[in-house]
Copies of this chain bind each other. A is one copy, B any other.
Amino acid sequence: MFLHSPLKFPKKKLEIMTDLKAALQEQADAVEDVLDRLLEEPEGPEAQVVKAMRYSALGGGKRVRPFLVVMSSRLFGVSDSSAQRVAAALEMVHCYSLIHDDLPAMDDDNLRRGRPTCHIAFDEATAILAGDALLTRAFEVLAHEDTHADPKVRCELVAELAKASGMNGMVGGQMIDLMAESRDLDIPEITRLQRLKTGALIVFACKAGAILGKTGEVKRHALRNYGHDLGLAFQIADDLLDVEASVEETGKQVGKDADRGKATFVSLMGVERAREQAHILSEQACKHLEVFDKETELLRAMAQYVVNRRS
């Protein structure tokens, strides 16, 4: 009875959040090191494109996706060094998508992670090439034997990351987003858009551990579902931040959706219902983790974190 005292729970929760932040930082540092090594500047004038790649891929971001790769991998006893290479490849894909999304022909953003976007710091041509080269390098890293001893696993990682990021995944979602500028979407349509645009990479991050650990369908499916709900909660929280947070907090332009008159979860549902929905999804995400007998505390804490973050 004493264990369930009202004072005990909030303290425990606070401790877990402290653990989460420490683990998130630890993995952010680890993926930074791996990216640093994988993006080595060559001799010759082509070093310029690698400078732009490094500018956009290093030194920033919450590194939520790398964290998810490493934590899902630990559930199956996969080595951190293996998981961190997959995490770095995934982060390269994420960063390439940010570079291209920020281009004048796309979202035309000049601020990202509190710094000028890649095409502002360099130029448009270099930014296009830097994005292209990050995407390409990601697949090279996954296919390399250092990522996993079993080539079948490596092929699966390549195929799954390609699916998640290509025409039926992230790029498809970005296309829907562009098409939506001429017509407002409804909630099911926005849900589908976000499932492709941001959800697919988050789902890949969560499934990566299952692929590396060669686990069965049940656990793989559980991680997929966790990633699905987490991804949607993450996006709704992002829409809320665009309405409620400041440039200083987020390090990027805010209020852009409203300025463009673009339909979002928040514009369609209202702030309160959107926040509620994000919390429901966060709890639902945690439920999927119940099939694991192993420690899933940090993954559950992450589901809390994504809906409560201020940046």
Chain A residues near B (Cβ < 8 Å):
42, 44-46, 48-50, 53, 96, 100, 103, 105-106, 123-126, 128-129, 131-133, 135-137, 139-140, 142-145, 150-152, 154-156, 158-159, 162-163, 165-168, 171-176, 178-180, 192, 196
Contact of B128 with A168 in the complex, beta carbons under 8 Å? no
A133:B178 contact, CB within 8 angstroms = no
Q: Which of A46, A132, A152 is packed against the most chain B CB atoms within 10 Å?
A: A46
The distance in angstroms between the C-alpha atoms of A180 and B125, with both chains bound, is 13
A137 to chain B, nearest CB (A): 5
Contacts of A123 in B (CB 8 A): 105
A133 CA / B132 CA spacing, docked (Å)? 10
Q: Give the CA-CA distance A151 to B162 in the complex, in Å.
A: 16
Q: Which residue of B lies closest to A47 (CB)?
A: B175
Partner of A175, one of B45, B105, B180: B45
Sorted nearest first, the 9 A-B pairs with minimum C-beta distance are A140-B162, A105-B124, A46-B172, A136-B166, A143-B158, A151-B151, A49-B175, A133-B167, A143-B159
**B171, A136: Cβ atoms under 8 Å?**
yes
Alpha-carbon distance between A142 and B140 when the two chains are bound, in angstroms:
12
How near does chain B come to A267, taking the closest CB pair, in angstroms?
19
Copies in the complex: 2
B167 touches A49 (CB 8 A): yes
CA distance A48 to B173 in the complex (A): 11
- CA separation between A266 and B171, bound complex, in Å? 40
Do A105 and B132 touch (CB < 8 A)?
no
Q: Which chain B positions have C-beta within 8 A of A165? A: 136
Q: In the bound complex, how far is the Cα of B252 from the Cα of A84, in angstroms?
A: 45
| A172 B128 Cβ-Cβ under 8 A | no
Given contacts A44-B192, A125-B178, A140-B162, 11 further A-B contacts (CB under 8 A): A42-B167, A46-B168, A49-B171, A100-B132, A106-B128, A129-B174, A133-B172, A136-B167, A140-B159, A155-B155, A155-B158
A235 to chain B, nearest CB (A): 17
A270 to B163, CA, bound (A): 48
Pair B132/A171 contact, Cβ less than 8 Å: yes
- The one of B49, B50, B151 in contact with A152, judged by C-beta atoms closer than 8 angstroms, is B151
How far apart are the CA atoms of A224 and B307 in the complex, in Å? 53
For A171, the chain B residues whose CB sits under 8 A away are 46, 49, 129, 132-133, 136
On whether the beta carbons of A159 and B175 are closer than 8 Å, the reply is: no
Residue from B49, B144, B158 within 8 A of A139 (CB atoms): B158
Q: A53-B167, A128-B106, A143-B155 are in contact. Are A46 and B173 (CB under 8 A)?
A: yes
Q: How far is the CB of A128 from chain B (nearest CB, A)?
A: 6
Q: Which residues of B contact A136 (CB under 8 A)?
A: 135, 162, 165-167, 171
Closest chain B residue to A178, Cβ basis: B125
Tell me the complex Cα distance, A154–B150, Å: 12
